[in-house]
Structure 1
């Protein structure tokens, strides 16, 4: 489904001038990163619990940031040990500085 929907998503990102894309789940994040060639990791968050799952921010050559976070159906973001909000906030804050 991601490939079928991609033309729409890409058009929205391009038309709106999006600087940060937040992807819920590793598969979605990897797909979007491939579309933009975003291979350079610039930030991350590792859950401070027994799982230790990792969420990341990558930058594409054109400057777009792709933030890949644990899917909210898998992780309780309300728990401070698994809260990805600071990672997303850093990406958004930096995106504002670039404007």
Structure 2
């Protein structure tokens, strides 16, 4: 389905779901990340598959207040969605 629709980026909420999607797509290479600057310090990451499909694993919005700048994953997601993205870890 992903190939048929031409999906280039998959955003997953939570580690468990993202791990499943990454495994199915072979997205093992981490190319970007964001670490919350609050006391929790959870990490959200972007991975790429050999096929070029990008998987973004972000904290689940029921667990993190994305409206708080210290936990806001928006820049990570924006970089993954940007055409011709120039990601830091690539």
User: Larger % of helix: which?
Assistant: 1
Higher-RCO chain (CA-CA 8 Å, sequence separation at least 6):
2
Deviation at 1:14, TM superposition (A): 1.8
**Number of the residue aligned with 1:3:** none
- 1:43 paired to 2:11: no
Q: Secondary structure at the residue paired with 1:39?
A: strand
With the length of structure 1 as denominator, give the TM-score of the two structures. Answer: 0.83
Structure with larger Rg: 1
Q: Deviations over 1:32-78 (max 9, x none)?
A: 00001111000000000000000000000000000000000000000
C-alpha distance in 1, partners of 2:80/2:29? 14
Gaps in structure 1 of 5+ consecutive residues: 1-10
User: Larger % of strand: which?
Assistant: 2
With the length of structure 2 as denominator, give the TM-score of the two structures. Answer: 0.91
**Number of the residue aligned with 1:54:** 43
Dislocated runs of 4+, deviation >6 Å = none
Q: How big is the alpha-carbon RMSD for the aligned residues of Structure 1 and Structure 2?
A: 1.0
Deviation at 1:16, TM superposition (A): 1.5
Gaps in structure 2 of 5+ consecutive residues: 86-90
Aligned partner of 1:66 among 43, 48, 55: 55
Aligned 1:1-99 pairs, distance under 5 A: 11=1, 13-93=2-82, 96-97=83-84
